[in-house]
Structure 1
Amino acid sequence: MSALTIENIRKSYGPVETLKGIDIALDSGEFLVLLGSSGCGKSTLLNIIAGLVEPTSGAIRIGDTSVIGMHPKDRDIAMVFQSYALYPNLTVARNIGFGLEMRKVPAAEREAAVSEAARLLQIETLLERKPGQLSGGQRQRVAIGRALVRRPKIFLFDEPLSNLDAKLRMEMRTELKRLHQAMKTTVVYVTHDQIEAMTLATRIAVMRAGRIEQIGTPDAIYNRPATLYVATFVGAPPMNLFTARRQDTGMAIDGLETLLPLPPGAETIAVGKPLIAGIRPEALKIDGDGVALPVVVEVTELTGPEIIVTGRLGGQGILASAPPFSRLAPGDTLTLRAPLSAWHVFDPETEKRLG
């Protein structure tokens, strides 16, 4: 039995259809990330699961129970929002246990649940402080603790790390990962940050304009993107895409005289027809295998562990990564290579992956 089943969920606001038929089956203990840009429908879907918004049509089951029309408090879910929503006049301990207090849970049981949540989140020393005395990361831990003590069937997270700075976001990502591994909880997590999605998820659902473009493991999403949108949305720097054409014996990138071997999947395109060839920047190596690609350097950016090179390949823009000790200047020609297995091919009409 799935922990969460979403069947053909649609949501319309007048003539505007926000969700256009979403289907997901989530097993117990999975960490599903809904990933997409603003306006794609990911938060609307989360709110429908929570019961804060009713769908126009479709079905949602938690376990074997239909929750359409059920009040949020009866769904056995806990939600953590982008804003911490803590009570400023209450201590950390009372903030964490407030929901249990409202449900008339006995004091001893409540205190035990608060202590366990504080131990898991490593905030035992903060229990007598008030929110105004805490950092942003500590406040978010308290908000998560308030959800943890509920012991719900499903945790829902709505961009919980967006208000934190980069260092705290990285620390909290690790904390959430550790927590999920320890508790084996079922999580649905909304974000527009692909790094959060890749590091946290057991599966990612990439959303676009109210639909799911692709759902799969982080490895599958990254290494076998189903569409051009997924290929460019997931990955930093994003995948390079080149207009190209199928030839008898290979693939010709527009503006480049060198003919590349035909990648798997490209044989389905008729000879002479256009295609789009993709390659990840990190797959391009100075000392790699494959056909030599002459890249004219335009801009270099040292990030620390690597240099991001912006340049031109046959007149088309390209991004590549080079070792940090490389000596490169604008106008230099850099020879890069990539194995045939690293190339991706897409149909320019359907924007779908070939092969």
Structure 2
Amino acid sequence: MSALEIRDIRKSYGNVETLKGIDIALESGEFLVLLGSSGCGKSTLLNIIAGLAEATSGDIQIGGRSILGVHPKNRDIAMVFQSYALYPNLTVQRNIGFGLEMRKVPAAERDKTVRDAAKLLQIENLLDRKPSQLSGGQRQRVAIGRALVRKPQVFLFDEPLSNLDAKLRLEMRTELKRLHQILQTTVVYVTHDQIEAMTLASRIAVMRDGRIEQLGTPEEIYNQPATLYVAGFVGAPSMNMLQAIVENGGLAIAGSDVRIPLPARFKNTVQSGAQVIVGIRPEAFRLATGTEAELSLPVEAEVVELTGPELVTTARIGTQRLTACLPPRAGIAKGEIRSLAFDGDALRLFDPATGKAIEATI
């Protein structure tokens, strides 16, 4: 039995369909991230799970029990909001324990539960403060603590780190990962930040226009994107997309006289003369040594940016551009013509007409 099962969930506002049939089944302890740009439907889906919005059709089950039509307080969930939603007139201790107080939990039991949660979140010394006396990261910990004491079957997080600065977001990502490893509770987490998704999730659902574009592990999403949209959305810098034509067992890069061998795994899945999109991750490139000419692309460097750990190089190949993430001491300068080598396994092919990945044979 799945801890959370979403069956063909659809949501319409008049003639506008915002969710177009979502199907996901989560086992107990999974960390699912709903990832996508604004307007893709991820927050709408989360609100339907939480009971803050009603589905037009479909069903959602928690622990084998349908929760559609069930009041939010009876769904055995806890939600952490983007805005923290703390009571400004209550102390941290009362904010964390407020839900228990409303359920008439005895004071001694309530106090112990709150202190246990505060210890887990490392905010024991803040229990007597008011929210106005806390930093953004501390307020987020209090909001998480309030959800923790509920001990629900499913945690829901609605972009909880978006109000924090870059350093605090990194700290809180680590904290959330640590908490999930300790508690092993089922989590549904909404974000538009791919780094959060890749670092936190056990599975990612990439959403687009009310549909799931791809559902898989972070490794599958990153290394085997199912569509051009996923390939372009996940990754920073995003995957390079080069237009090419299949010719005589090779790939002729459009707008140039460059031709690279067609990997053997695609020989039975693409026909000669077919137009394809060649996808290569920026970090898959390295400077060619001369022994890898058959798997390299000659390029002219246009912009070279040192980020610290990487030398991000924007280069031109004929009329097209690509990005390569090279070691900081790679020794490439603007205007230089160099060959960038890559392994054949790093190459992905997409159908430009459908936007879908072309399946490879083993």
- State the distance in 1 between where 2:338 and 2:140 align: 46
1:251 counterpart SS class:
strand
- Structure 1 residue 179 displacement after superposition: 0.1
Instruction: Identify unmatched segments of 5+ residues in structure 1.
Output: none
Give the whole-Å Cα distance in 1 for the aligned partners of 2:324 and 2:229. 20
Greater displacement, 94-103 / 257-266: 257-266
CA distance in 1, matches of 2:296, 2:37: 36
Shift of 1:312: 0.6
CA contact (8 A) 1:60 1:68 kept: yes
Q: Distance in 1 between matches of 2:54 and 2:295?
A: 54
The Cα of 1:326 is off from its aligned counterpart by 3.4
Report if the CA contact (8 A) 1:202-1:217 is conserved: yes
What does residue range 242-281 of structure 1 map to in structure 2 within 5 Å? 242-263=242-263, 264-265=265-266, 267-281=268-282
Is 2:25 the partner of 1:21?
no
Q: What does residue 175 of structure 2 align with?
A: 175
Amino acid of the structure 2 residue aligned with 1:59: D
Superimposed CA distance per residue, residues 213-245 of structure 1 (whole angstroms, 9 cap, x where no aligned partner): 000000000000000000000000000001101
- Measured against aligned partners, the alpha-carbon deviations of 1:258-295 in whole angstroms (never above 9, x if no partner) come to 32121333542221110110000000111475522111
Residue pair 1:278, 1:345 contacting (<8 A) in 2 also = yes
Distance 2:267 2:146 in 1: 52
* 1:268 partner SS: coil
Distance between the aligned counterparts of 1:157 and 1:246, measured in 2? 45
Deviation of 1:315 after TM superposition, in Å, equals: 1.6
Aligned residues: 355
- The equivalent of 1:121 in structure 2 is 121
Worse-matched range after superposition: 82-91 or 282-291: 282-291
> 1: CA distance between counterparts of 2:276 and 2:26?
35
Paired position in structure 1 for 2:355: 351
State percent identity of aligned pairs: 69
Distance in structure 2 (CA, Å) of the matches to 1:228 and 1:266 = 21
Equivalent residues of 2:287, 2:330 under 8 A apart: no
- For structure 2, which runs of at least 5 residues remain unmatched after alignment? none
Question: How does the TM-score come out when normalised to structure 2?
Answer: 0.96
| 1:283 matched residue in structure 2 | 284
Match of 1:318 among 322, 327, 332: 322
Q: Which residue of 2 aligns with 1:49?
A: 49
TM-score normalised by the chain length of structure 1: 0.98
SS of equivalent residue, structure 2 residue 220? helix
Moved more, 182-191 or 269-278: 269-278
Residue 343 of structure 2 corresponds to residue 339 of structure 1: yes
- The one-letter code sitting in structure 2 at the alignment partner of 1:33 is V
Which amino acid in 1 is paired with 2:109?
Answer: E
Paired position in structure 1 for 2:238:
238
Q: Distance in 2 between matches of 1:74 and 1:343?
A: 49
Q: Deviations over 1:146-192 (max 9, x none)?
A: 00000001000000000000000000000000000000010000000
SS in 1 for 2:53: coil
User: Residues 80 and 266 of structure 1: is their aligned pair in 2 closer, same or farther, counting only changes over 3 Å?
Assistant: farther
- Residue aligned with 1:98, SS: helix
* 2:197/2:204 contact within 8 Å kept: yes
Report the counterpart of residue 138 of structure 1 in structure 2. 138
CA–CA distance in structure 2, aligned partners of residues 225 and 201 of structure 1? 16
Q: What secondary structure is seen at the aligned counterpart in 2 of 1:40?
A: coil
Q: Does 1:214 align with 2:214?
A: yes
Map Cα deviations across residues 275-328 of structure 1 (whole Å, 9 max, x no partner).
110000000111475522111111111110011111111220100012212343
Partner of 2:312: 308
Give, in whole Å, the separation in 1 of the partners of 2:354 and 2:303.
33
Task: Report the equivalent of 2:332.
Answer: 328
Letter in structure 2 aligned against 1:99: G
Please show how residues 105-116 of structure 1 align to structure 2 within 5 Å.
105-116=105-116
1:295 alignment counterpart: 299
Contact between 2:3 and 2:27, CA under 8 Å: does it hold in 1?
yes
Q: Distance in 1 between matches of 2:260 and 2:287?
A: 17
2:220 and 2:56 mapped to 1: Cα distance? Answer: 32
Q: State the AA in 2 paired with 1:321.
A: C
Q: Secondary structure at the match of 2:287?
A: coil
Q: Which residue of 2 aligns with 1:98?
A: 98
Matching of residues 83-94 of structure 1 within 5 Å:
83-94=83-94
